[in-house]
Homo-oligomer: A and B are copies of this chain.
Amino acid sequence: MSTGDSASGPVRRAGRARGRVLDELVAGLGPITAEDLAARLPEVHVSSVYRALAVLEEEGVVAHVHLGHGPAVYQLAEEADAVRHLVCDVCGLDVVVPSGVFSPLRRRLERDYGFVLDADHFAVVGRCVACARATRRHPG
């Protein structure tokens, strides 16, 4: 019970990929996909980007969100905390809103169904103002 950290896992050794990926995220590019990250880091292979992101997520430094049909986007966990994503299924626009907007639904789902909403891992899908307007079956 002294050296045995039950869930400590392997000893982490800083390699090039992890550092570069974190640097990019810290540079504040906002939500970005693994592929876009790899595109900015010619020295780092896409698969290494995914692996680096996985480790960083495990450490709680990074978090990812699935935006509707598109690929997942990554971000510093601290930046992701207070917001939720509304993604337009038509144009892909990502509308970021304060997480508080979901509190009433969250409470209701939890009380009535025991379901704990995780609105920060998957975006909520719909249509943005512009696309909603355009979608009203061709006025006329």
Contacts and interface: CB of A to CB of B under 8 A. Distances in A.
Contact of A124 (B68, B88, B112, B119): B119
Interface string A94-138: 010100011011001100111111110110111111001000000
Given A68-B122, A121-B89, A127 B104 contact: no
A112 B100 CA distance: 13
Number of identical monomers bound together in the oligomeric complex: 2
A131 B124 CA distance: 22
Nearest to A110: B132
Interface residues of A, number: 29
A76 interface: no
A84 to B, nearest CB: 10
A125 B122 contact: yes
A80 to B, nearest CB: 15
A118 B89 contact: yes
Given A86-B109, A104-B105, A108-B101, A125 B132 contact: no
B116 A127 contact: yes
A132 B116 contact: yes
B132 A127 contact: no
Given A101-B108, A105-B102, A108-B101, A126 B115 contact: yes
Interface of A: 68, 86, 88-89, 95, 97, 101-102, 104-105, 108-109, 112-119, 121-122, 124-129, 132
